[in-house]
Structure 1
Amino acid sequence: MMKSRPDGGNATDKVLAVLQALGEHERLADITAATGLARSTVHRILQSLVEHRFALTTGDGRYIGGPVVLTLAGRLMGRFDPAEHADGALRRLSDDTGYPVHLGLLAGDDVVYGAKIEGAKPYRMPSRVGMSVRLHATGIGKAILAALPEPTVRAIVQRTGLEPRTPNTISDEGELLRHLEGVRARGYAVDDEENEPGIQCVAAAVFDHTGRVTGAVSVSTLALEPWDVPVERLGERVVAAAVEISESLGAPASAALRGAAGS
């Protein structure tokens, strides 16, 4: 997302502004309005993009992304590592809170830990990068489920069941659906010793460039050690990190802020 309009910027700023607007708009008037540039400037840039195959004209006054953009996007996505893009935000969250931090990625009907930072606490979490866990029993998993449509959640439950990992695990479908409503309202999920006895966590959903939920970020602690701050404040920090990670993954603003709606 452009942080400011490039009216007084250099030629590169203007081209980039038009190229970015082309991702959301097709008409010359709409692209002009989105960039704040002069109509003649936008038209000239679009013609250059068409010439170099970064854009195509459809014949009815619309512009769409061209083959060069699609090829470049495909090559970049082939090397795309969400954990690498999230690294800065994960480290800032760990430094800010002192807690162990995880990034979990949705993989089929499970969550796979894609990144882990131990934090400043004297204890270590038993999780490891590459470990997979069920969605219903973890904070990361419940944050992801809360961002999915209810029919999708029901379908996942039908396929995987709701194994009671601990006495605190939600193992009833109706109860889980009601619980997820609360997660959506707050903007973050809480794991109260539901996956591992003695471990609690707070998690918020992360979205990718398509606007779909792709995972979640969390902070964890031992149940015997109270959180250093009220869980509501901790939730705000986790949500902020999730929004930052979503933006780094190219999520549309509406999707990146979706998880923060309840905060």
Structure 2
Amino acid sequence: MTTKTGSGVQSVERAFDLLELIARAGGECTLSELAEQTPLPLPTIHRLLRTLVGIGHVRQLPNRRYALGPRLIRLGEVANRQLGALAAPVLRSLVDELGESANLAVLDGDMVTYTGQVPSPHSMRMNTEVGRRANLHSSGVGKAILAVLDDERITRLVLQAGMPAATQHSITTLPELMAEIERIRAQGHAVDEQEQELGVRCFAMAVPGAPTPMALSISGPVSRVDEAFATQAVAALERATRTISEALTGAAL
């Protein structure tokens, strides 16, 4: 029986560490960039990458960079469904308390992907399909996630994805975005002020200690999601993100 300190398990751990590093780099990086981020010897990194490429978990691009491979897609889809199921009761509780649509989104490369959603009971409401992707700079969940990343990674992800203007309220320059990130870090939550869709306001908060950056949000028409709504929404999001964080920690044990 191989123990955790055995070479087999150690190799598995190292391989997954490399996958995590590639993911944190936005989905692709060079061999030298990986070497800068890990104490592993270059020959070991190269050997592990060859193995991962051989089984389809990593692919080598024509420019010699390494990217996450197609075999990971199904794993990610299943994991996202399980995450959505875990979060569903929390999202339902938010909707019951606040009356507006609740969402869960995770960092996916240089964008966010919505993995859970419970709609508002109102006929006029914000609906976001599970699986939909959105830009980091113009969504409440995206900005909340950016705020828990370091500035260097924020710059890399945003410049890689670009900053298209979804509405006339969208942030379109990096200095403006970084100023917004500082405000989010100070107040503990993000606000989408009609930046993704006209007439819709969204409050979002990152899940603390999550194994992959993720955020919860509550969104609805600006006529209902107003200043009076904000205090209640922020308090509810604090409880909800804490619940998700505790559930994820328990699931990892």
Q: Which amino acid aligns with 1:130?
A: G
Q: Which amino acid aligns with 1:154?
A: T
The 3-state SS of whatever aligns with 1:148 is: coil
Note the alpha carbon deviations across 1:118-174, whole angstroms, 9 max, x for none. Answer: 122222324211111101001010000001111000001211121111111111111
Question: For the residues of structure 2 that align with 1:98 and 1:225, how far apart are their CA atoms?
Answer: 10
Q: Where does structure 2 lack aligned partners over 5 or more consecutive residues?
A: 17-74
Question: For the residues of structure 2 that align with 1:216 and 1:251, how far apart are their CA atoms?
Answer: 18
**What are the within-5 Å matches in structure 2 for residues 92-241 of structure 1?**
92-207=93-208, 211-227=210-226, 229-241=228-240
| Residue correspondences, number | 185
Question: For the residues of structure 2 that align with 1:212 and 1:177, how far apart are their CA atoms?
Answer: 24
Q: In structure 2, do the counterparts of structure 1 residues 118 and 108 end up closer, same or farther at CA, with 3 Å as the change threshold?
A: same
1:199 Cα shift? 0.6
The 3-state SS of whatever aligns with 1:163 is: coil
Contact 1:99 1:119 in 2 (8 A): yes
Q: Which amino acid aligns with 1:176?
A: L
Q: Which amino acid aligns with 1:110?
A: M
1:187 Cα shift? 1.1
The 3-state SS of whatever aligns with 2:95 is: helix
Aligned to 1:246: 245
Q: Structure 1 length as normaliser, TM-score? A: 0.63
Question: For the residues of structure 1 that align with 2:228 and 2:240, how far apart are their CA atoms?
Answer: 17
Q: In structure 2, do the counterparts of structure 1 residues 54 and 86 end up closer, same or farther at CA, with 3 Å as the change threshold?
A: farther
Q: In structure 2, do the counterparts of structure 1 residues 230 and 99 end up closer, same or farther at CA, with 3 Å as the change threshold?
A: closer
Contact 2:141 2:190 in 1 (8 A): yes
The 3-state SS of whatever aligns with 1:201 is: strand
Q: How many percent of aligned residue pairs carry the same amino acid?
A: 30
Question: For the residues of structure 1 that align with 2:153 and 2:129, how far apart are their CA atoms?
Answer: 27
1:225 Cα shift? 2.9
The 3-state SS of whatever aligns with 1:125 is: coil
Question: For the residues of structure 1 that align with 2:225 and 2:116, how far apart are their CA atoms?
Answer: 24
Contact 2:106 2:213 in 1 (8 A): yes
Q: Which amino acid aligns with 1:186?
A: Q
Contact 2:193 2:200 in 1 (8 A): yes
Q: Which moved more, 1:78-87 or 1:164-173?
A: 78-87
Question: For the residues of structure 1 that align with 2:134 and 2:225, how far apart are their CA atoms?
Answer: 24
Contact 2:203 2:219 in 1 (8 A): yes
Question: For the residues of structure 1 that align with 2:228 and 2:172, how far apart are their CA atoms?
Answer: 29
**What are the within-5 Å matches in structure 2 for residues 78-89 of structure 1?**
80=79, 81-89=82-90
1:232 Cα shift? 2.8
- Superposed CA RMSD in Å reads 2.9
Q: Which moved more, 1:211-220 or 1:179-188?
A: 211-220
Contact 1:137 1:195 in 2 (8 A): yes
The 3-state SS of whatever aligns with 2:228 is: coil
Q: Where does structure 1 lack aligned partners over 5 or more consecutive residues?
A: 1-52, 59-63, 253-263
Q: Structure 2 length as normaliser, TM-score? A: 0.65
The 3-state SS of whatever aligns with 1:197 is: coil
Question: For the residues of structure 2 that align with 1:184 and 1:212, how far apart are their CA atoms?
Answer: 19
Contact 2:105 2:214 in 1 (8 A): yes
Contact 1:204 1:239 in 2 (8 A): yes
1:109 Cα shift? 0.7
Q: Which moved more, 1:88-97 or 1:144-153?
A: 88-97
